Amino acid sequence: MRSIKYSDGFIADVAAFEEQLDLDLLDRVLEGIETFPSHGSPCIRFSLSNRFGSNARKVPIGVFLIIYTYDDESDEVIFAGIIPQRAVV
C-alpha cells in the first residue's frame, strides 16, 4: 500500500500561501499525485534538486509548483513543498 507523507515544509507552505491557493484544486491535484505518483515531471532545475533531492518531481498548480518525491521501490510519496514558479532560479 502506498505511503503518503507531508513534510513540515509542505504544511508551512500551504499555510503561508493559503489565501493565494485554490484549496479545492490543491486537494484534487494532491489526490491525482497520490494515485499516479509518476505523473509529475522529474525535469527540475538544479536549485530544486539541491533543495529537495535528486528524485524530486514537480506539478504546476496555478502560479505555484508542488514539489514531491516518489520512491517506487518503497511506494512512498513525500510532499516536500509548494513554491511560487517565479521564485525558481
Angle at 32 between CA 48 and CA 88, to 5 degrees: 20
Q: Tell me the pLDDT tens digit for each residue of 6-37.
A: 999 999 999 999 999 999 999 999 999 999 99
Q: Tell me the pLDDT tens digit for each residue of 55-88.
A: 999 999 999 999 999 999 999 999 999 999 887 7
Q: For the chain, what is the domain count?
A: 1
Q: Specify the CATH number for the domain of residue 10.
A: 3.30.2310.20
Pairing of strands 64-71, 56-61: antiparallel
Q: Which of 64, 48, 47, 9 is nearest to 56 (CA)?
A: 48
pLDDT of residue 1: 84
Reading the block at residue 8, the C-alpha cell is 513540515
Whole domain around residue 39: which residue ranges?
A: 3-87
